[in-house]
Structure 1
Amino acid sequence: MTDELLARAAALDAADPLAGQREQFITPPPAELLSYLDGNSLGRPLEATARLVDEFIREQWGGRLIRGWDEGWMDWPVLLGDRLGAAALGAAAGQTVVADSTTVLIYKLARAAADARPDRRTVVLDTDNFPTDRYVLEGIAAERGLRLVWIETDPSAGIDPAQVAEVVDADTALVLFSHVAYRSGWLADIAEINRVAHAAGALTMWDLCHSAGSVPIQLDEWGVDLAVGCTYKYLNGGPGAPAFAYVRRELLGELRQPIQGWMGHRAVFEMGPGYQPAEGARALLSGTPPILAMVPLHANLDMLAAVGIEAVRAKSLLLTGFVLDLADEWLAPYGVEVTSPRDPSRRGGHVTLRRDGFKSFLTPLWDNGVIPDYRRPDGLRIGPAPLSTSFSEVYQGLRVLRELLEKDPR
């Protein structure tokens, strides 16, 4: 069966229309990195990124100096936001900006949403959402005297429309969930959950960190009110790359984000008394944009726009399906469980495998050039990135895991 699986990996690679994209990434030799399976946590850098960063430092920063602000930098947050909206978010221009971190942007939008619904005193969230989402809402609830309504979600699954329908009511100001659950990879039904929440008069906000650049998103079509996501996972923006925020056009004039800095002012260099927000998505900005940190995003958006998000999703499903097949054949006999959805319509871009004591496997996996991700309790996340991961790479990584399990069968 091993030979058959190896042949299958080779056949999938040979038929992969995105196979050529792998050559555009900076990749260590196999002796140093056999299998990178953590693209859902930090994407690989592009060769084009290295060139763009060097060019930016030498020519734009070094050559133009402060003149660069007048020659384009000032508009990057909105221009990159529009490009991201078109390539990955299903968002028309003028609704998305690139700025700040995910945590800061969640605070800005959630606080603005709560302030825009002063007669409503509850916020709905789920117990297994990513920690920063929960922590930020806890802080806002303390600031504004709001009540948090917690939905208990299965860590092996995720939020369901029926669960939302049970708790939203006329007192709900905001609901906040993740499109793809960080632990299980559960792909939420955004359109239906939005319908349920809107029927109760609540605003909806979505964390897109584990779906942007991996799963097709249609923010405008689905009627999403607010969304935030990072750019360092499937968008390959680099460690700590700036995040993005989306506000539905109809709400841009209604919501007022709470961190009022000079870059969000209607006349940045007027520097007069009193804060007057800029029109449109630019009002979501606060301080000076992290221009140098935005450079890598240009390269990845070029690639994503060229190949199309639908092609990325098609390969992602094949990759995660292959992970499931290898897990069933190789790993299940050693007590490994799949704790991610098997239904492809409900599965995001990664698969979580669980076994008691998996944390102790991280060091030997790394020593063998295999890099997955670990999430408590006892979960290995296998996150192949469609643009940079081959099927043979998945095969080699899980082969090493199987060999380690053979030595520690428990």
Structure 2
Amino acid sequence: MSTTTPDTAATGPLLRRAVDLDAADPLASYRELFIGTDTDLSYLDGNSLGRPLKRTVTDVGNFIQDEWGGRLIRGWDEEWLHLPQVIGDQLGRTVLGAAPGQTIIADSTTVVLYKLIRAGLAAVTDPARTEIVLDTENFPTDRYLVEGIAREEGLTLRWIDADPASGVSLEQVRSATGPATAVVVLSQIAYRSGYLADLPGITSAVHDAGALVVWDLCHSAGSVEIALDDANVDFAAGCTYKYLNGGPGSPAFAYVNARHLDGLNQPIWGWMGRKDAFEMAAGYEPAAGIRGFLSGTPAIFGMLAMRGTLDLLEEVGMTAVREKSRLLTAFAVQLHDAWLAPAGVTLATPRDPEQRGSHITVDHPAFREMTATLWEQDVIPDFRAPHGIRIGLSPLSTSFTELYRGMAAIRRLLASA
């Protein structure tokens, strides 16, 4: 809760709307579980780095004292070796709509995506399938990776020219895929605009073309409902430091549909992905199932923080999280229309709440310089070139009055520019 109590009579209907939304919010009490929410700082960048839970301080401290300090090397045999899959299964069950044995916590998002794309290409046996489909507005890592893989493998890139204010449509995917398509690489939520792609429809269209799909879930895991198994998705990856609150650089996850796991090869062979990591024998024989997608030693510290958020998400359910996300972004759009649009700001996000994730983007030429000033005032959105501010709204830790304060600060700076 804020350290100040707004005077709703003095500040008008939009603030009263924010206060009423907070009062009616069934998730409001969860905000108090996060560090820093008892201040007037307006944090509008949960889609880049989530706030830490208060319990994380205790969890990490206990781990250092009792597990690392107390059990030392014995911790690997007693628990740590199993954590990537244990936490992966909880993530799959709670957030991804994935049955056990298909999700694992592994490397950075970049490395996980590389593994999945290369594994998908290796699973395609038709020599006529020489194209990788991707879009012009995907996150840079995804584009750079695919460009590099295409160069390594002598493949052709087929680009979907996506609208920066929305994203890739089902019709565009149908037009771009065909007998030459091997793998399609897309993001469920566009990192800039917040556009929510039709994951089930696009996955079905890719399969109709005889190809495989790799989904980047970085901006959707923990903010929208996902049903990977129901959609028959082939592969998916995502980071854990946004809506899953794993902390800076926490490791990403890999999802591989069970139907692909037998005989599937990923390209980065490491000791932890071998069938018996401690055998130390000559020759690589991959571990069975999803564990074969590990490579090096798991980042145990990087997994600790996300366990708390997964417990919360399992308690409240993704349906409730998604509903608050819709309400938060709808209020952000309302504030934009009332305050920012008259100052020349444009909304670069779909207006339909069913077509957007948990952030909106607003554009104005002054925003590049303005972002630093906002940060100095304890209002923290982030800037995305050429002139967009993203308003990232993490449903468990963001209040409506916090959003109001942040948008009000943007309004004041525009008025004084």
How big is each residue's C-alpha offset from its partner over 1:195-236, in whole Å with a ceiling of 9 and x where there is no partner?
A: 111011100110000000000000000110000000000000
1:184 Cα offset (Å): 0.2
**Partner residue, 1:220:** 229
Q: TM-score, normalised by structure 1?
A: 0.98
Quick one: distance in 2 between partners of 1:369 and 1:284?
41
CA drift at 1:28: 6.2
Partner of 1:284: 293
Q: Distance in 2 between matches of 1:13 and 1:271?
A: 56
Mapping 1:365-404, distance limit 5 Å: 365-404=374-413
* 1:116-154 per-position Cα deviation (integer Å, ceiling 9, x unaligned): 214221100000000000000111111111111001000
Q: Secondary structure at the match of 1:148?
A: strand
Q: Which residue of 2 aligns with 1:7?
A: 16
* 1:105 partner letter: V
Q: 1:63 deviation in Å?
A: 0.4
Instruction: Give 1:110's aligned residue.
Output: 117
Partner Cα distance (1:151, 1:15) in 2:
42
Q: 1:173 aligns to what?
A: 182
Asked if 1:364 corresponds to 2:373, the answer is: yes
Q: 8 Å contact 2:31–2:37 — kept in the other structure?
A: no
Could you tell me which residue of structure 1 aligns to residue 87 of structure 2? 80
Instruction: Report the counterpart of residue 334 of structure 2 in structure 1.
Output: 325
Q: Which runs of 5+ in 1 are unaligned?
A: none
- Give the match for residue 345 of structure 1: 354
Post-superposition offset of 1:344 = 1.1
2:173 to 164, 168, 185: 164
1:406 lines up with 2:415 in the alignment: yes
| TM-score, with length taken from structure 2 | 0.96
Structure 1 partner of 2:344: 335
Residues 89-98 or 110-119, more deviating: 110-119
Deviation, structure 1 residue 34: 2.2
Tell me, yes or no, if the aligned pair for 2:347 and 2:362 is still in contact at 8 Å: yes
Let me know the Cα RMSD of the aligned residues.
1.0
Task: Quote the residue 1:60 is aligned against.
Answer: 67
1:37-60 superposed Cα distances (whole Å, 9 cap, x missing partner): 000000000011111000001110
Amino acid paired to 1:90? G
Question: Which residue of the partner structure matches residue 149 of structure 1?
Answer: 158
CA distance in 2, matches of 1:293, 1:58: 17
* 3-state SS of 2:349 partner: coil
| Partner Cα separation in structure 1 for residue 372 and residue 270 of structure 2 | 44
Q: 1:313 and 1:347 mapped to 2: Cα distance?
A: 11
User: Take 1:72 and 1:287, find their aligned partners in 2: how far apart are those partners?
Assistant: 17
1:48 and 2:55 are equivalent in the alignment? yes
Q: Give the residue type in structure 2 aligned to 1:80.
A: I
Please give the secondary structure, in 2, of the residue aligned with 1:263. helix
Q: 1:34 to 1:378 in 2, by over 3 A?
A: same
- What amino acid does structure 1 have at the position aligned with 2:169? D
Q: How does 1:262-281 map to 2 (within 5 A)?
A: 262-281=271-290
Q: Tell me the amino acid that sits aligned with residue 42 of structure 1.
A: L
2:35–2:51 contact (8 Å) kept in structure 1: yes
- Cα distance in 1, alignment partners of residues 247 and 299 from structure 2: 13
Runs of at least 4 residues off by over 3 Å: none
SS in 2 for 1:183: coil
Question: What is the match of residue 270 of structure 2?
Answer: 261
How far apart in 2 are the matches of 1:292 and 1:129?
Answer: 29
CA distance in 1, matches of 2:350, 2:272: 42
**Whole-Å separation in 1 of the counterparts to 2:209 and 2:327:** 38
Q: CA deviation at 1:267?
A: 1.2
Give aligned-pair identity as a percent: 56
Amino acid at match of 1:99: A
**Equivalent residue of 1:215, what SS?**
coil
State the Cα deviation string for residues 91-118 of structure 1 (Å, max 9, x = none): 0000000010000000001011112214
Kept in 1: contact 2:37–2:397 (CA 8 A): no
Cα separation, 1, equivalents of 2:11 and 2:210 = 54
State the distance in 1 between where 2:202 and 2:82 align: 34
Rounded to whole Å, the distance in 2 between the matches of 1:169 and 1:353 is: 36
- CA distance in structure 2 between the aligned counterparts of 1:357 and 1:364, rounded to whole angstroms: 11
Displacement of 1:340:
0.2
Matched, 1:135 2:136: no
Shift of 1:29: 5.3
Give the CA deviation at 1:254: 3.4
Structure 2's unaligned 5+ residue stretches are 1-9
Q: How many residues align?
A: 406
What's the CA shift for 1:170? 1.3
2:248 aligned with 1:242: no
Distance, in Å, in 1 between the alignment partners of 2:25 and 2:205 is: 39
Give the letter aligned to residue 24 of structure 1. Answer: L
Match of 1:36 in 2: 43
Give CA-to-partner distance per residue, 1:288-316, whole Å, 9 cap, x none.
Answer: 00011111111111111111111000000
Q: Distance in 2 between matches of 1:18 and 1:279?
A: 40
User: Is 1:100 aligned to residue 95 of structure 2?
Assistant: no
SS at 2:362 equivalent: strand
Match of 1:89 in 2: 96
In 1, are the aligned partners of 2:19 and 2:401 still within 8 Å (CA)? yes
**2:209 equivalent to 1:196:** no
In 2, Cα distance between equivalents of 1:29 and 1:308? 24
